[in-house]
């Protein structure tokens, strides 16, 4: 089967729609470098589109009806949006699922220390990364610090041109003979990914005596104390407040168009916001809804979908039960039928074929950049371990939908059979008995600080997700 390059199917009008969509997506990336920041944007977009918050509807005892739009945010990190369809909800939902967390460095709970005149924040990496990617480049600090009184300080430091940035140091090449002999997996150790945050033992002001004491040695941990002074004076944060903080270290800088032809976007966080954003736009904009539609945008996928905000928790199932209750349709059996009769696209990125590393791929079953939205019948590793393996009947149903909508699609698997692999949230939703398949966008440099994706693939994902919400219906 030959791949069709999406650009060959676009006229000028469609290309403009693609460019406009991707320009909006780049803004979403710039403002959403953490799952909390993505959740804030989801709330804003949902409310602007007329969605109402589920908790408020429950408190007010509102009765839901076809055409109503509902959203719920769980612990400020995961989101679910519903558009109530005209058919009984027991007939099933059409579900788009993606994740809004990305690989990064997390600040530890007792992080600040000084060593030989340099202040550091100790980190623990999150998700699968090549640790050497994070040294010797500008990094930004995003997240929240929550004080004991419940007040929150938000950080997004390192993105504005006037902001300071941070970095993880690397050994100069002139002294790296021993380092360069190491395997790439250990050339930078996890415990060495500590963030440089200061080097001055004093904060110089017009009122101080700094500079008048000659070559007097500073007191012990003076640089650390100077950093704490800045945190206290500028942000109202004490050292103990790190204990209740969630601070993430991400690449500093904005999403950029890539290539002379500007056909790609280079950015941090394509995995998996490149699927989350088209999924969000699809549910906000799709109008011809018969079956109730749902968009799940979840946290913790990169570490196994665990925890209260991961897909393995029950927040989605609970939210759906509340929606059914507000419709007057809730029962345990009705909930189970609704889930079992649902169709889902588990929207996550695919490994784009890279000609420079062709040996890692089986080319005829690889995802090609610029050739449309990618469908993975299965993911997992080696003998399909840990995968959801979609039914042929479901795939045929989707093929028909996308052919009718003129959406460019391709199929792929994640690299050669015995080389590695990966997983998504698909297998978790499949536990309910629903039809699920992985779908998404081909990405180069996956899990690197800067990933690359084709604008055409991103727009085709949006078109595919919209067609799916309006037309999918394959009941068990």
Q: Domain with 193 in it: what CATH number?
A: 2.30.250.10
Q: Judge if 346 and 286 occupy the same domain.
A: yes
pLDDT on residue 214: 57
Q: Is residue 260 part of a domain?
A: no
Q: Judge if 78 and 53 occupy the same domain.
A: yes
**Is the omega angle on the peptide bond into residue 272 within 30 degrees of 0, that is, cis?**
yes
Q: Is residue 459 part of a domain?
A: yes
Between helix 12-31 and helix 35-48 the angle, nearest 10°, is 130
Q: Judge if 150 and 274 occupy the same domain.
A: no
pTM of the model: 0.94
Average pLDDT, the chain: 93
Task: Round to whole Å and give the CA distance between 416 and 70.
Answer: 42
Instruction: Mean pLDDT check: name the lowest of 1-5, 114-118, 381-385.
Output: 381-385
Q: Judge if 278 and 401 occupy the same domain.
A: yes
Cβ-based neighbour number of residue 297 at 10 Å: 29
Task: Round to whole Å and give the CA distance between 45 and 434.
Answer: 28
Q: Is residue 256 part of a domain?
A: no
3: confidence class by pLDDT, cuts 50, 70, 90: confident
Rg (CA), the chain: 24
- Closest alpha carbon to 77 in 228, 299, 277: 299
Tokens of 255: 């999403």
CATH number at residue 81: 3.40.630.10
How large a percentage of the chain has pLDDT more than 70? Answer: 96
- The model's pLDDT over 228-243, given as tens digits with 9 standing for 90+, comes to 999 999 999 999 999 9
Q: Judge if 91 and 130 occupy the same domain.
A: no
Q: Judge if 120 and 247 occupy the same domain.
A: yes
Average pLDDT value for residue range 142-166:
96
Q: Judge if 297 and 411 occupy the same domain.
A: yes
Residue 287 has pLDDT above 90, yes or no: no
Average pLDDT value for residue range 149-162:
95
Q: Is residue 71 part of a domain?
A: yes
Q: Judge if 184 and 227 occupy the same domain.
A: yes
Average pLDDT value for residue range 150-157:
96
Residue 210 has pLDDT above 60, yes or no: no
Q: Which of 190, 217, 251 is the last residue of a domain?
A: 251
Complete DSSP assignment for 181-250: GS-TTTSS-GGG-PEEEE--S----TT--TTSSTTPPPPTTHHHHHHHHHIIIII---GGGGGGEEEEEE
pLDDT on residue 381: 73
Q: What domain count does the chain have? A: 2
Residue 254 has pLDDT above 60, yes or no: yes
Q: Judge if 91 and 109 occupy the same domain.
A: no
Residue with tokens 């990125």: 349
Residue 39 has pLDDT above 60, yes or no: yes
Q: Judge if 227 and 326 occupy the same domain.
A: no
pLDDT on residue 325: 97
416: confidence class by pLDDT, cuts 50, 70, 90: confident
421: confidence class by pLDDT, cuts 50, 70, 90: confident
Complete DSSP assignment for 262-283: --EEEETTHHHHHHHHHHHHHH
Q: Is residue 329 part of a domain?
A: yes
Residue with tokens 């003076």: 222
Cβ-based neighbour number of residue 436 at 10 Å: 27
User: 12 versus 287: which is more confidently predicted?
Assistant: 12
155: confidence class by pLDDT, cuts 50, 70, 90: very high
pLDDT on residue 422: 75
Domain that holds residue 335: 6-102+268-471
Contact 107, 194 (CB under 8 A): no
In 37-191, beta strands by DSSP E = 52-53, 69-74, 78-83, 94-99, 104-115, 118-126, 139-146, 152-157
pLDDT on residue 423: 77
Q: Which of 216, 251, 286 is the last residue of a domain?
A: 251
Q: Is residue 396 part of a domain?
A: yes
Q: Is residue 476 part of a domain?
A: no
Residues 6 or more apart whose Cβ sits within 8 Å of residue 104: 125, 126, 127, 129, 248, 249, 250
Task: Round to whole Å and give the CA distance between 124 and 131.
Answer: 11
Residues 6 or more apart whose Cβ sits within 8 Å of residue 474: 343, 393, 394, 397, 435
Residue 331 has pLDDT above 90, yes or no: yes
Tokens of 179: 């380092």
Residue 476 has pLDDT above 90, yes or no: no
Q: Judge if 326 and 375 occupy the same domain.
A: yes
Q: Judge if 237 and 208 occupy the same domain.
A: yes
Residue 209 has pLDDT above 90, yes or no: no
- Closest alpha carbon to 141 in 171, 118, 111, 114: 111
- The model's pLDDT over 364-376, given as tens digits with 9 standing for 90+, comes to 999 999 999 999 9
Q: Which of 219, 251, 283 is the last residue of a domain?
A: 251
Q: Is the torsion defined by CA of 37, 42, 43, 49 positive or negative?
A: positive
User: 421 versus 41: which is more confidently predicted?
Assistant: 41
Q: Is residue 47 part of a domain?
A: yes
């Amino acid at each position: 089967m030959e791949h069709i390059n999406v650009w060959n199917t676009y006229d000028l009008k469609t290309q403009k729609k693609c460019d406009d969509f991707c320009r909006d997506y780049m803004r979403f990336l710039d403002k959403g470098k953490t799952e909390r920041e993505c959740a804030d944007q989801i709330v804003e977009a949902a409310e602007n589109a007329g969605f109402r918050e589920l908790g408020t509807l429950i408190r007010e005892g509102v009765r839901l009806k076809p055409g109503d739009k509902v959203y719920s945010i769980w612990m400020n990190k995961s989101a679910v949006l519903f558009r109530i369809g005209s058919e009984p909800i027991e007939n099933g939902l059409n579900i788009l699922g993606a994740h809004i967390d990305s690989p990064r460095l997390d600040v530890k709970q007792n992080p600040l220390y000084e060593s030989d005149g340099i202040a550091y924040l100790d980190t623990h990496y999150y998700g699968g990364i090549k640790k050497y990617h994070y040294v010797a480049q500008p990094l930004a600090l995003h997240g929240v610090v929550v004080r004991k009184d419940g007040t929150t300080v938000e950080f997004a430091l390192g993105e504005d041109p006037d902001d300071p940035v941070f970095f993880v140091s690397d050994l100069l090449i002139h002294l790296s003979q021993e380092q360069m002999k190491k395997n790439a997996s250990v050339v930078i150790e996890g415990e060495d990914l500590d963030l440089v945050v200061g080097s001055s033992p004093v904060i110089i002001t017009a009122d101080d005596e700094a500079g008048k004491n000659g070559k007097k040695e500073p007191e012990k941990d003076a640089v650390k104390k100077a950093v704490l002074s800045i945190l206290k004076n500028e942000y109202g944060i004490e050292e103990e407040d790190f204990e209740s903080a969630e601070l993430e270290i991400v690449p500093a800088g904005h999403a950029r168009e890539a290539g002379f032809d500007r056909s790609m976007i280079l950015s941090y966080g394509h995995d998996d916001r490149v699927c989350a954003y088209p999924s969000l736009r699809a549910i906000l904009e799709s109008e011809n809804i018969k079956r109730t539609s749902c968009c799940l945008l979840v946290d913790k996928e990169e570490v196994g979908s665990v925890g209260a905000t991961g897909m393995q928790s029950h927040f989605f199932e609970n939210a759906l039960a509340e929606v059914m209750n507000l419709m007057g349709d809730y029962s345990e059996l009705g909930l189970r039928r609704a889930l079992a009769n649902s169709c889902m696209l588990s929207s996550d990125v695919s490994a784009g074929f890279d000609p420079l590393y062709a040996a890692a791929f089986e080319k005829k079953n690889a995802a090609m950049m610029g050739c449309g939205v990618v469908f993975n019948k299965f993911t997992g590793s080696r003998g399909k371990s840990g995968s959801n393996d979609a039914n042929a009947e479901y795939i045929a149903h989707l093929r028909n939908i996308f052919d009718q909508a003129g959406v460019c699609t391709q199929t792929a698997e994640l690299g050669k059979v015995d080389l590695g692999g990966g997983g998504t949230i698909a297998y978790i939703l499949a536990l309910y008995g629903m039809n699920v398949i992985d779908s998404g966008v081909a990405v180069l440099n996956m899990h690197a600080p800067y990933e690359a994706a084709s604008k055409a693939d991103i727009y085709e994902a949006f078109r595919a997700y919209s067609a799916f919400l309006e037309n999918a219906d394959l009941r068990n």
